[in-house]
Structure formats: structure tokens, C-alpha cells
Amino acid sequence: MSAPADILVLNTGSSSVKFAVFDAQLQERISGVAEGIGGHGHLRIGAQKEALDLPDHGEALSAVLDRLTQKGAGPDNLRALAHRVVHGGTGLTMPARITPDVRAEIQACVPLAPLHNPHALLAIDALEQLAPDLPQYASFDTAFHATAPEVANRYALPPQAEALGLRRYGFHGLSYASLCHRLPEISDAPLPSRLLAFHLGNGASICAIKDGQSVATTMGYSPLEGLTMGTRVGTLDPNATLRLVEEFGLTETKALLNHHSGLAGLSGGLSDMRALEEAGTAEAQFAIDHFCYWAIRHGHSMIGALGGCDAIVFTGGIGENARSIRARILEGFAWLGCTINPDSNLENAPCLTSPNAETTAWIVPAEEERQIAKDANTLIAGGRA
């Protein structure tokens, strides 16, 4: 019997666990989600959906492993478990096998990601009990941006404030790391030296990637900074935030800036780009205009960090599918010689630009789960299993 080769990747949230099984060639075999954790929920694997009581993450993960076992992808068929962890702080800047010390560092980052890291820890601890013989690994959304220079990551704050961890970390790092691997495969050419990457979805950011490394990004201390997003405000004058706290209080201000702003705040409640494009209202059109304007404006800031631009890449749900949004953003970079091919854009083709374009533009599908599996595979192959 051959040794187990599959890797189970988990992305754990407050009320859900998304999961995918990858084989030795990093091809996805099975994927699904357990949703409604904390009550009566359901478990979906492929097209099959099953109603279940999921009182906590432990029960949800037990159900996931049980159903995967029925499909020949349970613990006996796995060689590793791999987790998406949102925040690694300044200490966890590379994928890592989870040891007591690494777990303690993830725990120490909870104040930096109180809505994310605790749930990853719940999954790590539950799987330590459910599958104690399987090694666990973690990949960090912040890690890709650790290569940015200190002048990019440090806010202009005095030491006593910076000591609280108030610095720019950046997010969507797994998406950006993945596209750096995938673009050469798609383009059949080396990775461009100066790459402007747009991850556009409900959460949105831009990354300046130079020679395969992040040198600047639009998200900062939290995912709230930067672009206009689905429900997040993006960059806001700090005094405006303080005024909101004075008027509405801290709790309501947090909810307003994170969950009721961005496209939803501008449009009257619509945060999905497809719904906005179909709405036909002045408010919806202004929200789209706002999204595109700030994507173009922040994108030029990233070009400043790169010292130029050789190629532009779109990823994420909006980046991969919203044709009119891509076209409008690329119009803002026409001065680079980034000449869009309308037919290619309409077809969501991998290359969006004309053959003679001085600066090329591409679509690269987001493959964060595959990147996590790749990270674990690399650590195992390097003898750090």
C-alpha cells in the first residue's frame, strides 16, 4: 500500500469551515463547507448537502473527517492538515509546521485579528484531538508582505504607539503568492519584474510586487484600509473615525466602518458588484464609480513604489468576472500602453491586452487553498514534516 499523499486544507471562520483535499500533484480532489456552526447547520461536499446539528467547531470538524473518510479521503489517507491563518504578526512570516511555539505565536496575534485567529486556533486544537497523528501546518495571509521595506510598513507614530503593534501588515498574501506562481504558467513567460496586482472581491486590495516580492500594499493594520470594498470603508481620515466614535460610540462605529460602509454604504445596501451593475440607480452607479476611481488612484500609488509597471493582474471574484470594472480600471492605465482587447475582456480570457501592448494585463484565478497545500507540501519535501 502506498503512503498517504493527500493534504486537507482548512479555512475556519466564526460559523463555517471551508475545506479542500489536494493530491500529491496539488490537484483538488474534494471540496466543501460546514456552515451554521453554533446551531443547526449543514455540511456540503461537492453537490451533496446534508443538514446537521453543529454546536461547535469540534463537532463540525468531526463531521467533516467522518464524511471525508466515507469518500476515501479521511485521516488514514492524509499526510497533513494545513490551515489558513489570517495573521502571523511580525514573527510568523513564512509557512510553518504547527508546534507549541508556533501555536503560541498565533495566539499572541489574536489582538491583531480578533475575528479570525481564534477560530483558526479552535480548528487546530480540535484536530489535535481528532487526528493526533497528522502533522498540522499553517500559512499566513500577512506573511507575503513581510518583504516590504520598513518605510512602507511603519506608520508615522511614536514608539509607544508602534509598540502596540500598530503597523501596516497587509492581507490577501496567499492570493498574491499564488498568482506569482500561476502567472508564468498562464503566460508562458517569466514573472514580470514590476507587477501591479489587484485582488478585487468583497474585500479588495492592491499589491506592488517587485521580482516576486511584495514591496507595498493598500491594506494596513487591518483589512479596513485602502480600496472601497463591499462593506468596508477603505482609507478614512483618522479624525473622521474619532468623530464617528464621539457621535455613535465605539461598537457602532466598528460595525459601521466594517459592515455598513463601502459599496453598501454608498448604494443603499448593495455590496455585490453584480447586483450594483443590475440596479440601474444613481446610487449604485456612484458606488461603482467610487470603486473604480479609488482602484485607479491607489494603483498609481503602488506604481510609485515599484518605480514603473510591466504588467497588471486581476484576481478575486470581481477581478476575474466583472468585465466592465476591469475595462474601466485599465482605462486609467492606458498611459502605460496597456491597450485592452475588448473581445478578450468580454470572454474573461487569460490575457486581456492586445498583442502589441507595451504593458500586458492578465486574469489569474484565485487559488489560495492550493497555495496553502503547496506551502505544506514544500515544508514536507524539505524535511520539516
C-alpha cell at 201: 472581491
Residue whose C-alpha cell reads 474573461 in the numeric block: 348
Rounded CA separation 42/325 (Å):
34
| Domains with residue ranges and CATH for the chain | 6-140 (3.30.420.40), 188-368 (3.30.420.40)
For residue 4, the model assigns a pLDDT of: 87
pTM: 0.95
Angle (deg, nearest 10), helices 117-130 and 100-108 = 160
Per-residue pLDDT tens listing for the chain (385 residues): 567 889 999 999 999 999 999 999 999 999 999 999 999 999 999 889 999 999 999 999 999 999 999 999 999 999 999 999 999 999 999 999 999 999 999 999 999 999 899 999 999 999 999 999 999 999 999 999 999 999 999 999 999 999 999 999 999 999 999 999 999 999 999 999 999 999 999 999 999 999 999 999 999 999 999 999 999 999 999 999 999 999 999 999 999 999 999 999 999 999 999 999 999 999 999 999 999 999 999 999 999 999 999 999 999 999 999 999 999 999 999 999 999 999 999 999 999 999 999 999 999 999 999 999 999 999 999 865 5
Task: Reply yes or no on whether 141 is catalytic.
Answer: yes
Beta strand pairing status for 213-217 and 204-210?
A: antiparallel
CB 203 within 8 A of CB 318: no
| Burial environment of residue 21 by CB neighbours within 10 A (0 to 12, 13 to 18, 19 or more) | buried
Closest residue by Cα to residue 228 from 238, 240, 218, 237? 218
For residue 384, the model assigns a pLDDT of: 55
Beta strand pairing status for 16-22 and 6-12?
A: antiparallel
For residue 2, the model assigns a pLDDT of: 65
Give the active site residue among 23, 101, 133, 141. 141
